[in-house]
Amino acid sequence: MDTVPSITLNNGVRIPQLGFGTFQIKPPDTREATLTALRVGYRHIDTAEMYGNEKEVGEAVRESGLPREDVFVTSKLNNGFHDRDDALKAFDRTLADLGFDYLDLFLIHWPLPNVGDFVETWKALEEIYRSGRVRAIGVSNFQPHHLRRVLDETATVPAVNQIEVHPYLTQDGVRAFNAEHGIATEAWSPIAQGKVLDDPTITRTAQRLGRTPAQVTLRWQLQRGDIVFPKSVNRSRVEENFDLFGFELTDQDVAAISALDRHDRTGPDPDKFNYIP
Ligand code: NDP
């Protein structure tokens, strides 16, 4: 099997384009699930303080026996910690829970446009970046008008913007804005939590190529250039979702799947979401 390609972020750091997501994996199951992913070959793990499973992700990385620098780990600042001092402390806790002395990528999880000011939160992430304990910083669920303020009012361009992207929500506007400013797009819920897998266009393409609908959908994401990290607690699916490099979609396949867009979110609207746990 060909190896996972890397994407070079705007500060020169390289990130594997395919990783493993850990949202909704219960803490007691996370160590085993993450370890399985690492044994299958994944070298990029996406977690968050909000998921409550950073400790178990860190345990799995150590138990895998892999050198720390061989595994790219992302975590995210939770919504209750947007004030500067809270953000600095939350990052310390994230590192301590993971049991790491550095993190690869730290993101503002949600912009919370009606709570506090995400530009001040971004400045706290810049401070953390300058401390040398994180290799790259970015944002998640930012719309272009949120990013515009970050670009205009601060000195650091986010390395990534992690947003919901799948065939029913292709996000061409946000992805184009990201690309124009050197921000890599990370696609969360890349198979829409399973919702797109019985779509006739996707199942037809899968049948023609002798692949599964999930593989076709993830391959569509990779060929569009986005970074993905599907989640599964089922070993055979973890393997299936990693086996994406022995086939290719035609340009017509990519266009046909992109045409399935129906602006259908599985998660919250970033302009309205103000949830603080
Ligand atoms: P995904 O699109 O990855 O779908 C996961 C769901 O699909 C699970 O129910 C899983 O079930 C099932 N599944 C996985 N693989 C297959 C397969 N090959 N065939 C059929 N079903 C399959 O959804 P997520 O929401 O988990 O998104 C991926 C990651 O993105 C998250 O884990 C998280 O890391 C990140 N994320 C970030 C957000 C943000 O706000 N920044 C928000 C949401 C997610 P099972 O486990 O039973 O196999």
What percentage of the chain reaches a pLDDT higher than 70?
99
Average pLDDT over residues 222-247: 98
pLDDT at 275 (0 to 100): 87
Residue by residue, DSSP assigns 198-241 as T-HHHHHHHHHHT--HHHHHHHHHHHTT-EE----SSHHHHHHH
> Among 42, 51, 102, 168, which one carries the catalytic annotation?
51
What predicted TM-score, i.e. pTM, was given to this entire model? 0.98
pLDDT single digits (tens) 1-18: 468 999 999 999 999 999
- Report the nearest atom of ligand 1 relative to the CA of 166: 2
The three state secondary structure string of 22-82 is CCCCCHHHHHHHHHHHHHHCCCEEECCHHHCCHHHHHHHHHHHCCCHHHCEEEEEECHHHC
Q: What is the mean pLDDT of the chain?
A: 97
pLDDT single digits (tens) 135-172: 999 999 999 999 999 999 999 999 999 999 999 999 99
CA of 156 to the centre of ligand 1 (A): 30
pLDDT at 242 (0 to 100): 98
- Report the nearest atom of ligand 1 relative to the CA of 107: 41
pLDDT at 2 (0 to 100): 60
Domain at 6-258, CATH from 3.80.10.10, 3.60.15.10, 3.30.470.10, 3.20.20.100: 3.20.20.100
CA of 131 to the centre of ligand 1 (A): 32
168 is annotated as an active-site residue = no
Average pLDDT over residues 51-71: 98
- The domain segmentation of the chain, as residue ranges, is 6-258
